[in-house]
Amino acid sequence: MKQIQTISILSLSLLTLFSCTEQNDRADGYGNFEATETTISAESNGKLMAFNVEEGQQLTQGSFIGYIDTIPLALKREQLAVSKELIASKSRGVLSQINVLNAQLAAAEVNKVRVENLIRENAGTQKQLDDINGEMAVIRQQTKSIEIQNAPVMTELKSIDVQIKQINDQIEKGKIINPIDGTVLVKYAEPNEVTAFGKPLYKIANLSVLELRVYVSETQLSSIKIGQEVEVKIDTNEDMESLTGTITWVSSEAEFTPKIIQTKEERVALVYAVKVKVKNDGRLKIGMPAEMWIASN
């Protein structure tokens, strides 16, 4: 009887030890690596004259990788420049007329002062002063009339300047400049193809640091905080390899466990998404599965 009791206690101990070991061998979160993927699209219409991009190529921010044909835009800009010069010549003619009238007005003002002095000395008449005042009023009216006629010309010149600026902006957007450091993931276009505004050209992502999105239960939230270092394990040929990651984001709202990660029984559970930033030495790929282990466990 004592032997049976001893065997029962031993069996219970082994079962408890096995259960604890199984629990400790379970990761705190499961997920896949992801990166911020940016799709670079064409900003103008035309033929793709040059496009020096290959999938897997490393690109730096601000690098020139190609351009779209801008000859039609350049010709339109030249046409606007000719029109501007023609309109400007008309405006210069109007301005010269205004200058002549201003000179006449200045001369009339001098005569007015002279006549006023003569009237004080009883050597001039009021009629002379009235004639000069009338002459000055006519000159001012003529000047105002010419300025009104010149206003549409000036407006047209400003409109042409705006059109030229717009064309310059379109020509500048014909240059394909890479916006971020990263690796080309997908190439959508080839040189000599005709592209259009908004058409994708290539997709790029910075793969030097990837984010592991994992899901944890509500009971695990107390042991997780932003900036905390955790252990990230990935599959290898022989065993799992450990990397160091840093928690950068914790979801504020719960969601249902994604079907691709947990078993059927656990899918109904509510979990919280967590992002872990991991430095990539070249082995990590987008979509690769991984595990998160909290160091305290």
Tokens 């400003």 map to which residue?
Answer: 158
Same structural domain, 258 and 118: no
Does any domain span residue 49? yes
Structural domain contains residue 11 = no
> What's the pLDDT score for residue 257?
66
Q: Name the stretches of the chain with pLDDT < 50.
A: 1-23, 262-265, 297
Could you tell me if 51 and 191 lie in one domain?
Answer: yes
Tokens of 75: 């010709």
Q: Pick from 201, 164, 204, 202: which is nearest to 44 by CA?
A: 201
Do 52 and 183 fall into the same domain? yes
User: 156, 45 in Cβ contact below 8 A?
Assistant: no
The CATH number assigned to the domain holding 181 equals: 2.40.50.100
Domain count along the chain = 3
CA–CA separation, 31 and 107 (whole Å):
90
SS3 of residue 229 by DSSP: strand
Whether the Cβ atoms of residue 96 and residue 146 lie closer than 8 Å to each other: no
Instruction: Give the pLDDT confidence score for residue 151 in this predicted structure.
Output: 78
Where are the extended beta strands (E) located within 206-258?
A: 209-216, 229-235, 240-250, 255-256
Q: Would you state the pLDDT for residue 8?
A: 37
Predicted confidence at residue 54, as pLDDT, reads 95
| pTM reported for the whole predicted model | 0.67
Q: For residue 261, what pLDDT is reported?
A: 53
Q: Is 32 helix (H, G, I), strand (E, B) or coil?
A: strand
What are the CA-CA distances from residue 106 to residues 60, 94, 141 (Å)? 65, 19, 15
> Range of 242's domain?
28-37+206-293
**Residue carrying structure tokens 């394990």:** 233
The verdict on 47 and 132 lying in the same domain is no
